Amino acid sequence: MLTRKGRCAVDIDWVRECCMSMPHATESLQWGDDLVFKIGGKMFAALVLKPAPVWLSFKCSPEEFAELTERPGIIPAPYLARHQWVALQTREALNMSELQRLLYESYSIVLAKLPERTRAALAQSASPRAKAKSTNKRRPRRKAR
């Protein structure tokens, strides 16, 4: 989809593909019509699927929060602003590369705040060694005669 300026517009499918490309990201429908992206059970982005005042929300650093909320089309996220979440009112509020960077940053912030045990479990399930252990089960030894 192209905008008037000839640039590609960000759409739901692009955001979903971007968020789901991150390791261990999951998605679920919450609050009726919101597609929520999580890492380790914690949200890092929420996408509204039907017309609403905002269409995408995500976590950011306190510095980014202050800078982003001064831009047109970006507001403090309802209910989550105190935790440095911003909400995009329009799909043109950010260009694709900047939005991709911010979504990855949101994912990284949430991942870093997960309990150590959860992060360790995620890291272990991602390692090739852990996958090999789960698929290559040992055969029981035969008893010597």
Summarize pLDDT for 21-73 with one digit per residue, the tens.
999 999 999 888 899 999 999 999 999 888 888 899 999 999 999 999 999 99
Two tokens, residue 134: 């789960």
Whole-angstrom CA distances from 11 to 17, 32, 33, 43, 96 are 10, 20, 16, 20, 10
Handedness of CA 88, 91, 95, 97 (dihedral sign): positive
Model pTM score: 0.77
Summarize pLDDT for 86-122 with one digit per residue, the tens.
999 988 889 999 999 999 999 999 999 988 998 888 8
Render the burial of 57-92: b for 16+ CB within 10 Å, e for the rest. Answer: bbbbeeebbeebbeeeebbbbeebeeebbbbbeebe
Rounded to the nearest 5°, which phi and psi values hold at 46?
A: -135, 130
Domains of the chain: 12-135 (3.90.1150.30)
